[in-house]
Structure 1
């Protein structure tokens, strides 16, 4: 009647994530991407410690996909100028380090990448009040 493992919990978590994504602002979506990448790295570290090679590889692949297809692809290099270019280079570095961490089975590299993402996430969360103010400004001007 029930599938083995944690299928029910996984389905519930997927619904929660999908709901969070559907109602999220563009700013919030980036936060969710940072959180997803960091969660995948935490899972990779756990699987590395437990010797689960296949699961470690899947978790690292997920983190790489989030960085490349989510964070890096959302950059607008034409409008973002030097900041976007530097983030693009940093995301490329993060992806390479994740791949190297998987190949060399290095928890140190996973910790390094997680710290980089944590710093970026903290900075992104820190600009939330300014983003909200800027988003509210056009709405207030249209009411005049």
Structure 2
């Protein structure tokens, strides 16, 4: 499989894993399913994509994804602050991307601006039978 295909699968997997409806207030994200498809040449794997919209100042709760999920995230608009596992906190700008290894904890995912919205495309490569792709941490 070529790299663009793998990244696409990863983003899609993440997308549906996060596709739980967000709280209806300005401090949470809104997740919209974008794509889901079984990967025909990788038995048991699917590519899932979601679009994550952050209102100004909005953030996701700390979470992890399905143990099988490799995630590719791409900033579509605005600026997104992110921290995966114990890595550094970083602000990603339009056109920049990052990834999450299977089993990683996404400690911070938020709009870095209090005045402008931000949008992220998340693509997952995951086991096709994974049901809950995103689980909030307690």
Normalized against structure 1, the TM-score is what? 0.25
Higher relative contact order (CA 8 A, sep 6+): 2
Normalized against structure 2, the TM-score is what? 0.26
- The structure in which a higher percent of residues are helix is 1
